[in-house]
Copies of this chain bind each other. A is one copy, B any other.
């Protein structure tokens, strides 16, 4: 096995991903309850809300209210997502963490469906956002390529196209005076497999050996955790995940659009393989159960039902010690 990293960072996407994809309205207090519970598990970055058009994503109409209600613990980024300059300005007026970034969608059709703009138009609009980051002295470290593994509208996407998209975000960042440290590949439509993770990351590393790669994988077709494992083998240390597997993109054109890889399942797998996550898996399991209460339906996480191996290992060790 290729050497696995010693530690990884898991960014929690559950509240933002989850609340935007649920059909029913969830009370503000319940959203806050989940976010505050997540803050007790060791997570350092929790995506809480998305400042998007409430006409397109009605369940995010309360973004300001949720943001204001969170009792923030020091040392944790309670983050807000934005998709355009208007959203960014709302985010900057609020109390949550705003991460500067430059984003591009791999497929032009998905770009129009997801954010209502062509790829070139979205880059032009982001020049305003990048100017805002610069003026405020905010760092811009990551470029994001959305839908990098394939598109429900356009089908397979060539490696060459993805490399062009990475080049575009590097160029846009540079134009605005930023040098990116990494590029995050996202897969809201659930196309990634371990083989395509290898193919894309190898291609990016060949061209930009210094660039970090992050992965934002969805488990739409069961390939989420295997793809994340492939990422680990390639030395990826930055992953997005969502508690209990909450979430799914509302514009991915898949009935079964499901959430990110499940935070506690991924953390469990990492810890079992000796990769430190900084997370308390038992506490994550408790929060996964809260997530099910909050959305009022069973969620797809596994280890919340199967349980960790801690107790069984301790029983075994005690029996051996007594023997």
Q: Which residues of A contact B (CB under 8 A)?
A: 1, 4, 150-156, 190-191, 193-196, 198, 219-223, 225-226, 228-230, 233, 254-258, 262, 265-266, 268-269, 272-274, 300-303, 305-309, 312-317, 319-320
Contact = CB atoms under 8 A, between A and B. Distances in A.
A313 B155 contact: yes
Contacts of A195: 1, 4, 272-274
Contact of A255 (B230, B307, B317): B307
B269 A226 contact: yes
Contacts of A230: 1, 229
A151 B316 contact: yes
A257 B305 CA distance: 8
Contacts of A265: 221-223
Q: Which 5 residue pairs of A and B lie closest in terms of their CB atoms, listed nearest first?
A: A155-B316, A256-B305, A222-B265, A222-B302, A220-B306
Given A222-B301, A226-B229, A306 B190 contact: yes
14 contacts: A153-B315, A155-B313, A156-B313, A156-B316, A193-B269, A195-B274, A222-B301, A223-B272, A225-B225, A226-B228, A255-B307, A257-B306, A258-B305, A300-B300
A94 B257 CA distance: 45
Nearest to A270: B193
A109 to B, nearest CB: 9
A197 to B, nearest CB: 9
B225 A150 contact: no
Contacts of A272: 193, 195-196, 223
Nearest to A228: B226
With most chain B CB atoms within 10 A of its CB, the pick from A190, A306, A309 is: A306
A224 to B, nearest CB: 8
B221 A268 contact: yes
Contact of A256 (B150, B156, B254, B302): B302
Nearest to A264: B222
Contacts of A301: 222
A257 to B, nearest CB: 8
Contacts of A151: 312, 316
Contacts of A223: 225, 265, 268-269, 272
A313 B158 CA distance: 12
